[in-house]
Structure 1
């Protein structure tokens, strides 16, 4: 279904799988998909006499919000902030990754020269092992980066460990109850867009503050990796960070290369505040998953872009004015 042409419904679902309430009358709906972090959703429900009693029983973390776009499931996750007012019930939620910010490692584990996507899958599965809300993990492809990592029982939040791993060569995103892990250099395309596919003029921006031509990564103890140097065009711009979760030089070098790829040349992107799709945009909204790419051509500014851009964030809103779909697109690195 094209952007701007759909309507939404929602359900409140108990942790045992039973439907607590069906929200057919939605005054406002917002949901998103985010790369390498937790996404959020919100619905404002106008309860009728039949569902008001059931909505009074909604509780944070016990129940999850499930959102459907023209009957197709597009988002779900635990409710974190229900509010009851005279005008309706306002429910905010986070996606399934939100649970991992409330989980810790449950077993001691040391990885030596191990594929990073498999380490990520272990973190997720271990985090959910004692009390699984119902998750699956899908690895799209190997990162081709192997490294050493060690985790200790009850040390650090699992979500933080996963974000640290994403800084060294992998990506991940939540799609319903599924957590997708993919290599950072995954460039599969899900569509093409031009100026006419956006409802407002695009803003092309260059993030010069993110530019770096040399990265140095310090891991635990004396572990160190570096990538880049003096750039023939930009000169020398150096960045140093500490990643104590990295235990070997090879992983540190891979992390440095990953950061260099994302920061040199200066990232050029389409401003997320302006990248709202037109109602007749030739792209399937359900297929807009962070980590995949769209080919974008824009010629309406002095800075022409014709390249593959990676989807970083998808935001969908529906209210009395209709539906809007916005994208944050970042350089794909190819």
Structure 2
């Protein structure tokens, strides 16, 4: 049963042109069984009244649909009542394009509406505890757990846990592994977090390992549909997906130049309190004539970090700090115009988008990377697509200690 979302759009012509946002003719929602392939049910055309979904970098996104029970019909309503969190997944389609998918986590029913709330596929990693050893220090490429790009390490941790690890209910039970996409960093990461005897697993959710240990080392992750993208911070050498101007924004914009986020040197140390004996530090960056020396200090209480580990953390944190970042955001209530020369498929958090902000006091043309996409659709007002952009800065390329 196709979802509703049918609404006339005066800018429909742009949807038929390549690499433009356009305006959808309809939104559809389908409830699938776990894995996202086998359909379970879908609200009827006249029943789907609201859709919201987002994409974000280094976090779990959410998708929500609202269904008018009176328009759904008794048979569909009965099926909606059988939706089971984590046994079923929500899939959202913009016209024929799958734009969002992930496990249902909650349903809410009142007298007139039925709401389905879901999270993207990283939720499976948040609900799966690691049972593997985390020793990625070997230089032997034949070792499955060798050191290498942090994106490769992330994929290996996910694969070892989902394919045959202890307590697995079946190989790749959430069906994630075929949909992992990697964009590797050029720097090899050495990562270890085990017990003192190197034989103990760190019993925490997989997503916590990714967030606390791999993201600070330069990993960026996001989801697009069912795809899990394990990427890296974009630099000025990466091609832009599109070039936008303020004419492509319907509503207000904010340009913020924030000196608090700037730095010429980033220091990371494991010194805590008054105890400094045996501690180490890592530093990345370079001083120059514009800012002189502008330091940022990051303190970590993680145990067992080497000087190389601390340098990796400093290198990842340096990106985007020099020059002082100038960020551009489209506040809530504003949105990308249908004429924006970028398709929904290209709006992947982390990609580079160049923006020419002419007509403002801060007239700049600057490379940004996309951090968030927030989409709202209702049968009354149609679609609004909001984005947030953060400046691109090149990573420190000096040699490690």
**TM-score surpassing 0.5?**
yes
Let me know the Cα RMSD of the aligned residues: 2.3
1:217 counterpart = 2:268 = yes
Equivalent in the alignment of 2:38: 18
Cα shift at 1:178: 1.8
* Structure-to-structure mapping, 1:93-172, within 5 angstroms: 93-112=118-137, 113-129=147-163, 130-131=168-169, 132-135=173-176, 136-151=179-194, 152-164=200-212, 165-172=214-221
SS where residue 75 of structure 1 aligns? strand
Structure 2 gap ranges (5+): 1-14, 138-146, 195-199, 272-277, 395-401
* Structure-to-structure mapping, 1:1-334, within 5 angstroms: 1=15, 2-3=20-21, 5-6=23-24, 7-15=26-34, 17-23=37-43, 24=45, 25-47=47-69, 48-49=72-73, 50-112=75-137, 113-129=147-163, 130-131=168-169, 132-135=173-176, 136-151=179-194, 152-164=200-212, 165-185=214-234, 187-218=238-269, 222-228=279-285, 232-234=289-291, 235-242=293-300, 244=302, 247-273=305-331, 276-319=335-378, 320-334=380-394
Task: Determine which structure has greater relative contact order: mean sequence separation of CA pairs < 8 Å that are 6+ residues apart, divided by chain length.
Answer: 1
Partners of 1:140 and 1:240 lie apart in 2 by 27
| Contact in 2 for aligned 1:147/1:248 (Cα 8 Å) | no
- Cα deviation 1:77-132 (Å, max 9, x = unaligned): 01112101122111111100012111221221311143211111112223433252
Cα shift at 1:34: 0.8
Structure 1 gap ranges (5+): none
Rg comparison, structure with higher value: 2
SS where residue 262 of structure 1 aligns? coil
| Contact in 1 for aligned 2:234/2:369 (Cα 8 Å) | no
Cα shift at 1:219: 5.5
Structure 1 length as normaliser, TM-score?
Answer: 0.91
Partners of 1:10 and 1:243 lie apart in 2 by 45
Structure 2 length as normaliser, TM-score?
Answer: 0.77
| Contact in 2 for aligned 1:143/1:169 (Cα 8 Å) | no
- Cα deviation 1:227-249 (Å, max 9, x = unaligned): 23655433433322216277332
| Contact in 2 for aligned 1:134/1:177 (Cα 8 Å) | no
Higher strand content, 1 or 2: 1
